[in-house]
Structure 1
């Protein structure tokens, strides 16, 4: 799947915190071929445990903020973290 330049930058930053229990899923994973005509609106990462969701999010948030991004959430509960429907990332 072709990534937008913004998605590519985020994926590169978040790659530093991926591990064997971190899975990219959704449209980004299903349409991974560079010649695909489908773009995904987001990058969906899943983890094997509720605890790992929390630690991965904390690590990702720290990495993004270190690189000048502001993170806001619509919902955060154990094992489930949701950004706003139309997130605004600022630098």
Structure 2
């Protein structure tokens, strides 16, 4: 994934409706997911997030293709605030204040 405003790129191609659907469905042809749990096995692994960058994590930590794979996100690529915590259903679920 790469953001070059106003475009979102998936595998170096401008994302379209089909691309989003394939990423969300974890279908072959788009690496929108990380198979397995290998990247979570190293308890000593750490991440350095540079100034004016953010670290994004998917809600399904064991099977998310997120900043642990594609690195920190530059602040200028953010387009808005988070709105809702969708999962897990615990005391943090719901609208973000």
Give the TM-score of the pair, scaled to structure 1: 0.24
Greater C-alpha Rg: 2
Give the TM-score of the pair, scaled to structure 2: 0.23
Higher helix share: 1
